[in-house]
């Protein structure tokens, strides 16, 4: 029945399902707009809401991130969205592991050169809806309501909610997945 899809289809489906479930489990306070932003950053990067990254701003962000309760339980990197092109690098564990800050600056800058795929983003949004099950803090109706409340057809940039930032912090940078593992193969899954 699925011979034409090949093995890669099922591997990708399983991987997307696992990453989506991990996100929904870890970020239980996420609203539809937060899921949208997570997917959006994974496809399009940091966007326009982020200030220019400098070494001074990065060290300041690390100091602020240390004050957030989530700083002690974060991994160095997390998947960002379902496109598997970008990673979320958590600043506190990254700096605590001795990784060079200048390399993070370079990686974040290189991320601006990446090409995005609007169709893939919309497919990933639809896929996330399939991962919502009864009993979760969010419903498919909320996802659809959010989608209808924005000009979804142009995939606008929407920030994380204030509650999401308060619960989970903002101490991270977005970098290209392949380059991060090229420079830091020891962190590859």
Per residue in 87-137, pLDDT (tens digit) is 999 999 999 999 999 999 999 999 988 999 999 999 999 999 999 999 899
Question: What is the β-pairing status of strands 77-79 and 172-176?
Answer: unpaired
Q: Which of 116, 94, 92 minimizes the C-alpha distance to 104? A: 94
Ranges under pLDDT 50 in the chain: 1-6
User: What confidence score (pLDDT) does residue 58 get?
Assistant: 93
pTM over 0.95: no
Using CA atoms, how far residue 153 sits from 20, 124, 139, 141, in Å, is 22, 14, 21, 18
How many other C-beta atoms lie within 10 A of the C-beta of residue 60?
11
User: What confidence score (pLDDT) does residue 70 get?
Assistant: 83
User: What confidence score (pLDDT) does residue 189 get?
Assistant: 86
């Amino acid at each position: 029945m699925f011979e034409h899809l090949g093995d890669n289809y099922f591997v990708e489906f399983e991987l997307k399902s696992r990453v989506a479930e991990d996100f929904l489990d870890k970020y239980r306070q996420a609203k539809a707009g937060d899921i949208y932003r997570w997917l959006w950053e994974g496809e399009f990067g940091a966007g326009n809401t982020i200030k220019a990254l400098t070494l001074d701003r990065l060290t300041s962000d690390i100091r602020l991130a240390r004050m957030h309760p989530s700083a002690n339980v974060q991994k160095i990197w997390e998947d960002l969205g379902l496109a598997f092109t970008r990673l979320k690098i958590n600043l506190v564990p990254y700096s605590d592991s001795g990784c060079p800050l200048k390399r993070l600056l370079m990686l974040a800058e290189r991320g601006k050169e990446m090409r995005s795929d609007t169709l893939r983003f919309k497919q990933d949004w639809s896929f996330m809806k399939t991962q919502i099950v009864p009993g979760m803090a969010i419903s498919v109706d909320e996802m659809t309501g959010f989608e209808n409340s924005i000009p979804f057809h142009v995939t606008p940039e929407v920030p994380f909610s204030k509650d999401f930032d308060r619960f989970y912090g903002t101490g991270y940078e977005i970098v290209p997945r392949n380059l991060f593992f090229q420079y830091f193969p020891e962190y590859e899954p």
